[in-house]
A and B are shown apart, each in its own frame.
Chain A
Amino acid sequence: MATTNRSFAQALWDFFCSLKLTISLLISLALTSVIGTILPQGKLPPEYVASISPVKLQIYSKLGFFDMYHSWWFILLLYVFSVNLICCSIKRLPHVFKFISEPNLVLGESQRTGFSQKQDLKITASLDKGREALAEFLGKEFSVPVVTEHDGEYHLFAQKNAWCRLGVYVVHLSILVIFVGAILGSLFGYKGFAAIVEGTGISSIQANNGAEIPLGFEVRCEKFNVTFYDSGAPKEFKSILTVLENGQPVKGLTNVRVVVNEPLSYKGFTFYQSSYGQATESSDHTFSVQARSGGFSDRLTLREGQATVLKDGTTFKLLETTADIRQFMPNFSGPAARIEVTPKGGVPQTYIVFKDFPDANAQRGDALQVVYEGSNAKMYTGLQVAKDPGVWVVWLGCTLMVCGLFIAFFMSHKRVWIVVSKGYARMYGNASKNQAAFQMQFEELSDKFKNLKI
């Protein structure tokens, strides 16, 4: 029984240590990830639901394909991947540490034959003199050697960058650190949304799962503004925000400019400019009306759909307004209104009048000159809000990963041995990576070595 348990544990351990598992997991993760890029994720659009058969829809949602990256089996793959990483590292690290801390100081006869990089030198001086001179040579040209006496020979061993053999384990660790950061974020962080009408403030946000999250402070939107390029493409969305504690503006966080790519952070919450809109549907719009003949002038305040009768009997009706006319008339921009003017006993005529182009209004050769003066409509700013206490752990992991990859790929553990016997010495060398570069370095070292006069 005990042996069965032992062998089962052993088999499990071997399974999780296996590199076949690593490669299968990497390929499985790659292949399954594709599903979520093809099928829509999250809320399904009705057109999609209509286009797919009910059976398929049910199978896909049972398998979690519509929230793929949070499905139990995808998360399980990531956990198995982590366990695999940890087991592989636990299994191999002791060997690597031993390799670094207990280098092979003495080169046995059988080992000497395996080197492609070697160089001989005849020595006329005594063994001790030769040893000293060569130790000095290595120390100066490569790195300070450890000298060991063995069977009447001296073995000089010098190495560089032994620790770079740990680079790959730094990369493995970094993946786990990133996972820890992601888990911290999902446990203790929030993602939410806030819409703040100009001139008002909020003290809680709506989390993505629908919960109301209190901020512990207030954020007020002083002003929102949007600008466009000539082409009509948006140029900038800008909110002016103020943070308040107990009703008092916080120093340094008063009238802060927040645009896309320039968020505002306070007490772990970060506010990102994300959308905007008109806050009130039924707001008042003001017009100035002047008779061309100079007879009378008037100021009107109307809501959309309202009509009024002017002094001369003309009926003036406000049909609709827009905060920016560009989407309808690319040559103009800014607020505009569509109005219907019916002279007494005449036929109704509709015009578009602008706020920012009074000349265009005046050029119309009608009896009345109408200028749209704008509305008291307020904008609201839409802000993404995030709190992620794990994000620094993630960046730490990313930094570790980049450093680890650099060490693992571009640094090499270089070793040089010199075996000093009576009358001659022989130098051997090898490198863990980039043999071609080491070969050049070794040849340079060999040239100096063979010209030594000892």
Chain B
Amino acid sequence: MTSSLLFNVTTLAYMASMVVFFAFLASKNKAIGLTGSLLAYAGFAIQTLAIALRWKESYDMGYGHAPLSNLYESVVFFSWTIILIYMFIELKYKYRIVGAFVVPFALLGMAWAQLGMHSGIEPLVPALQSNWLLYHVVTCFLGYAAFAVACGISIMYLVKARSEEAGGGAAGGLMGMFPPIRVLDDLNYRAIMIGFPLLTLGIITGAAWANYAWGTYWSWDPKETWSLIVWFVYAAFLHARFTRGWVGKRAAWLSIIGFAATIFCYLGVNLFLSGLHSYGSSKM
């Protein structure tokens, strides 16, 4: 059994979970909803195993490093963290249907990684040979994942708010499955409350690592700058919410904008801008 086989199974499980969640939306059958969750959980368990196996495989090849070192590995890990944060929100707040809007993000990541990326295990260049890699990547991606969940919830909010406006009052039918918009608004805020301290930790561990490796904790590298931009956006979100009562639609849009900035920070910087984080390049 190889990790790449297990990653394929994971992708299938997330796809099945998404389809079942959509069926849940249409049928409102509780058993179907449970199946959707269980499929996502099963996918998560298999993915956990696959990541551990890939870690071991890298040791077998003599490279020996955590599977967090290139774009493929980071996208896989990102989708793992998205499901992790979703499970946390689902188990804590008991709103299963959120999965219909969050699992697709994880599926998208897995499908892209499996279909479009080189998945070979490569040795670590000198700059990445540090335990800080683990601390930095884990904190950053948990933060990103919380923002992804907040974005999914915000989309739900906007869909439900629009249908309520059109229908005049609380909507039945498909929308009846969604949590009340007040709850969605609150969940959006809670997910960001998880993500913001994690992003902060991610930036700090990155700065500590840079200081340890280069003697400069901050050098305005595009990746660093974009992480700060994301931080500013969510800081603005929190202030607008706490003190100026930005709730509902405006908060939902700000959350979606924040996630767009997050994705640009994660992928856009690597693909369009040059800097220290060009994954896979041999730059020191």
Contact = CB atoms under 8 A, between A and B. Distances in A.
Co-complex (A, B): yes
Interface of A: 19-20, 22-23, 26-27, 29-30, 33-34, 36-38, 41, 68-69, 182, 191, 229, 231, 233-237, 259-261, 263, 270, 272-275, 384-386, 388, 391, 394-395, 398, 401-402, 405-406, 409-410
A402 B196 CA distance: 10
By secondary structure, the A interface counts as helix
Nearest to B63: A229
A231 B122 contact: yes
Interface of B: 122-123, 125-127, 129-130, 132, 193, 196-197, 200-201, 204, 207-208, 211-218, 220, 222, 225-226, 228-229, 232-233, 235-236, 239-240, 243-244, 261, 269, 273, 282, 284
Among B122, B208, B214, the one with the most A-chain Cβ atoms within 10 Å of its Cβ is B214
B245 to A, nearest CB: 11
Nearest to A70: B220
B229 A33 contact: yes
A27 B216 CA distance: 26
16 contacts: A26-B236, A27-B233, A29-B232, A33-B232, A233-B123, A234-B284, A236-B129, A237-B126, A260-B129, A260-B213, A260-B284, A270-B215, A272-B214, A386-B216, A395-B208, A410-B193
B263 to A, nearest CB: 15
B126 A236 contact: yes
Contacts of A409: 193, 196-197
Contacts of A237: 126, 284
Nearest to A28: B232
B204 A402 contact: yes
A86 to B, nearest CB: 16
Contacts of B233: 26-27, 30
B215 A388 contact: yes
B147 to A, nearest CB: 15
A269 to B, nearest CB: 9
Nearest to B127: A260
Given A30-B233, A37-B226, 5 more contacts: A33-B225, A234-B126, A237-B126, A263-B212, A395-B208
Given A23-B239, A233-B123, A234-B125, A272 B213 contact: yes
Given A19-B244, A23-B236, A234-B125, A33 B273 contact: no
Please indicate which of the listed interface residues B130, B193, B217, B236 has the most CB atoms of chain A within 10 Å of its own CB.
B217
A401 B200 CA distance: 8
Given A30-B233, A36-B225, A261-B213, A23 B244 contact: yes
Given A19-B244, A270-B215, A274-B214, A30 B122 contact: no
A259 B215 contact: no
B215 A384 contact: yes
A432 to B, nearest CB: 11
A334 B214 CA distance: 28
B50 to A, nearest CB: 24
Given A26-B232, A33-B225, A260-B129, A405 B215 contact: no
Contacts of A29: 232
Nearest to A383: B215
A315 B1 CA distance: 60
Contacts of B207: 394, 398
A102 B175 CA distance: 47
Count chain B CB atoms within 10 A of each CB in A260, A384, A406 and give the residue with the most: A260
B197 A391 contact: no
Contacts of A384: 214-215
Contacts of A182: 218
Nearest to A260: B126
Nearest to B236: A26
A261 B215 contact: no
A233 B235 contact: no
Contacts of A410: 193
A30 B232 contact: yes
